[in-house]
Amino acid sequence: MKKLWSGHLNYAFAVVLTFSLVVATGCSFLPPIPLRAPSLPAPATPVPSPEPPQSQAPPQSGVSQGSPIDSSWKAPTLGSGPIPGIPTFADIVKVAQESVVSIQTEGIVSDIFLQPVPQRGAGSGVIIDPRGYIVTNNHVVEGATQIKVMLNDGRSFDAIKVNRDPATDLAVIQIDGANLPVAKLGRSDNLRVGDWVIAIGNALALEGGVTVTVGIVSHTKRTIQEQNGVTLYNLIQTDAAINPGNSGGPLLNVAGEVVGINTAIAGEAQNIGFAIAITPSMPVIEQLITTGRVVRAFLGVSMVDVSSSLIARYNLTVKQGALITAVTRGTPADKVGLQRGDVVIAFDGRKITKAEQVVEIIRSRKPGDTVDITYVRGASEFKTQVTLAETPNR
């Protein structure tokens, strides 16, 4: 599980707070303040010093020990099920956990002396097809030379193929097995904030089976940037506990359907985890299975959100949109005359208020698709059509 930001928040906060106090007062670290025991009222008469204890027989308390209390007593019958009115996810988990797998990887990395050293990792995945297709995170299997998959029923398989897409942090592993349990897939675009969700995975690589946690959908369509610089879109935020080793495992709805792939946690926060939404991920998963790589549409611009500071700096005449900061030569954007400083206010029929909206639309289209663009240059509004190209290999 990727941490977006490093942990140890409590320790860091204490150090910063202490340092701030030192700077503010100009003092060195203060010694502990001695604590005095509270004073007791003086006794009415002098109290003699206690005499040393002398051995004596234990007092006879009159309480019998070790003898039966009631030889005819029988233990009452225990409850037979869940408490009425309180939901249980046990039946959902019993079925869903069979399709959740634990993944162990081995690879070679270089140490500080540039010498090769072995590296091991652990993560999770979910079987989506009886032919052995398993969805997981790219960061779980990236750089791995050996990948072992363990099922909940105890079976173990070596991966025979793996295809990855770093741009979405998704990967598909193939194993060769029979009678494989398959997860049910749901629709993440039907989720609402407050809906129950269930996270299942190989948390901390603990032995004995998968770990199950429960929470709610805290937000939908989050955008985060991972430590490697990759920006992930359309994420589900949840307070269901997601721990290292959960990466690649499923996030389920209360119907037991996969609605997300757990991918990241906010290291300096509590109960903030993220899962890749399954609905927009299916085209990526399909391409990884059918072609081995993901082909994406490409426009050829860099953009940022229009802000109050940019409006003042560039004398923009619009309050919202995506400001083009660069246009790559020879790209579709360059061919239709888009320029640095143009503000895109509509793209493919949708109003644009943020740059990430353009990125999401382009990701949903294919090379060769034609889209309409409305943009503002200076005080004038223009419209054009552009045919998207294929993202060049880097």
Q: How does strand 297-298 pair with strand 389-390?
A: antiparallel
- For this structure, is 219 an active site residue? no
Contacts of 309 (CB under 8 A, 6+ apart): none
And the tokens for 285? 């998963």
Residue with tokens 């990236």: 142
Calpha distance 388→234 (Å, rounded): 22
Q: How does strand 389-390 pair with strand 322-327?
A: unpaired
And the tokens for 4? 């977006």
- For this structure, is 247 an active site residue? yes
Alpha helices in the chain (DSSP H): 9-25, 90-96, 138-141, 278-290, 308-314, 332-335, 355-364
Which 8-state DSSP code applies to residue 271? Answer: S
Phi and psi torsions of 10, nearest 5°: -60, -45
Q: Which of 247, 281, 342, 348 is catalytic?
A: 247
Amino acid at 124: S
- For this structure, is 169 an active site residue? yes
**CA of residue 74 relative to chain centroid, distance:** 50
Q: Which of 99, 102, 124, 139 is catalytic?
A: 139
For residue 18, give the 3-state DSSP assignment.
helix
State the DSSP string of 65-83.
Answer: -SS-S-TT--PPPPP-SPP
Q: Which of 124, 165, 169, 218 is catalytic?
A: 169
Kindly list the catalytic residues. Answer: 139, 169, 247
